[in-house]
Structure 1
Amino acid sequence: MHDLVSVSGLPKPEQYAELVQQLRGLLEGERDSIANLANASALLYHSLEGLNWAGFYLHRGDELVLGPFQGKVACVRLALGRGVCGTAAASRTTQVVEDVHAFPGHIACDPASRSEIVVPLIQGDRLIGVLDIDSPQLSRFDAQDREGLEAFARVLLEATDF
């Protein structure tokens, strides 16, 4: 069992440095993808403020399929290239969306979500899936979140067998 250290009140770069450190501890000695994705989503959801969903969609054929997450029930299948998750997967670039209702083709799994960040998970040339985080706050995510979550995703990818 791991006790989580609170990151509340720390500047964002320090929050993410602490979360990466905690993730390393959670993943130590475990390479199973489902276990690691489940713990990673719980770590993010319970550590970062202002979230209403944190989890993963996994690349399967020409779509993304719901993986481990924390939050309300979610859309199960998303087409590549559609919505924020599908755009991040198809473009292989992180998407930071200040207002999801202004994003062309946004897929509203939870109408309470207002902003979103999606980080593609790529090992070598292979698209594994995406890390998706939603917030009910407008403009919740910024460049510091992008950098921190991309670092978080790199640690997860290095420590996990997909």
Structure 2
Amino acid sequence: MDLHNSEGMLEQLAALIRDWDGSVPRRYCHLANASALLAEHLGDINWVGFYLVDDSGQNLMLGPFQGKVACTDIPFSRGVCGLCARTGKSVRVDDVHAFADHIACDSASNSEVVAPLVDAKGRVVGVLDVDSPTLSRFTLEDQKLLDDAAKIISQLLYS
């Protein structure tokens, strides 16, 4: 990740989604563009996208993404995305194969960062998920950048 240009990427992200009209279809358009922007900006990744809380409030459902075919449903009780959804805190995993109860949607993924999307009432409404084929790919700085991206998305699309 080019951390020297991270501030510019966050500004571009905000500009891309700032004009949201409040509709669900437009929210999905903006999430699709956000995943495309992140895929362009992030290096050495094989998947970036969103899982959104379904109507039950207990599962995540596949949303807009860039990458290979993905798992469609993830219960809050399982995996890295589920842990993030349960706790409302970002999770960085250096080796997903050593993570208890990891869900292997793509066997090429070796490390992962997941950041929560939170609405104006403080409820987790989804997660931003990024996978890499490289072990220990993500740094604390990367995690902070993705937390910041998730906060921008949360503020502009879920408040």
TM-score, normalised relative to structure 1: 0.89
How far residue 35 of structure 1 moved from its aligned partner, in angstroms, is 1.1
Match of 1:107 among 91, 99, 103: 103
Cα drift, residue 161 of structure 1: 4.3
What's the CA shift for 1:15? Answer: 3.1
> Could you say what secondary structure the match of 2:150 adopts?
helix
Is the 8 Å Cα contact of residues 116 and 135 (structure 1) preserved in structure 2? yes
CA-CA distance at 1:143 after TM superposition: 0.9
Equivalent of residue 74 in structure 2, options 74, 78, 82: 78
Structure 2: distance between partners of 1:161 and 1:126: 10
Task: Check the 8 A contact 2:51/2:60 in 1, yes or no.
Answer: yes
Q: 2:94 aligns with which of 98, 118, 123?
A: 98
Q: Which runs of 5+ in 2 are unaligned?
A: none
Alignment equivalent of 1:66, drawn from 54, 62, 82: 62
Correspondence for 2:146? 149
Moved beyond 6 Å, runs of 4+:
none
Asked if residue 55 in structure 1 is aligned to residue 49 in structure 2, the reply is yes
Q: 1:15, 1:76 → 2: CA distance?
A: 32
Residue 36 of structure 1 corresponds to which residue in structure 2? 30
Structure 1, 147-156 or 23-32: larger mean CA deviation: 23-32
Larger mean Cα displacement after TM superposition, 17-26 or 101-110: 17-26
User: Where does the alignment leave 5 or more consecutive residues of structure 1 unmatched?
Assistant: 1-7
Q: Secondary structure at the match of 1:104?
A: coil
Counterpart contact for 1:16–1:149, Cα < 8 Å: no
Aligned equivalents of 1:35, 1:157: Cα separation in 2: 15
2:87 and 2:14 map into 1 onto residues whose CA distance is 28
Counting matched residue pairs gives: 152
**2:150 is equivalent to residue 160 of structure 1:** no
Summarize deviations over 1:3-31 as a string: whole Å, max 9, x none: xxxxx7x4x2x332121011122113234
Distance 2:90 2:158 in 1: 22
Q: Does 1:130 align with 2:127?
A: yes
Confirm or deny: 8 A CA contact 2:117 2:153 kept in the other structure.
Answer: no
Identity of aligned residues (%): 45
- Give deviations 1:14-53, integer Å, cap 9, x for gaps: 3321210111221132343101111110001121100100
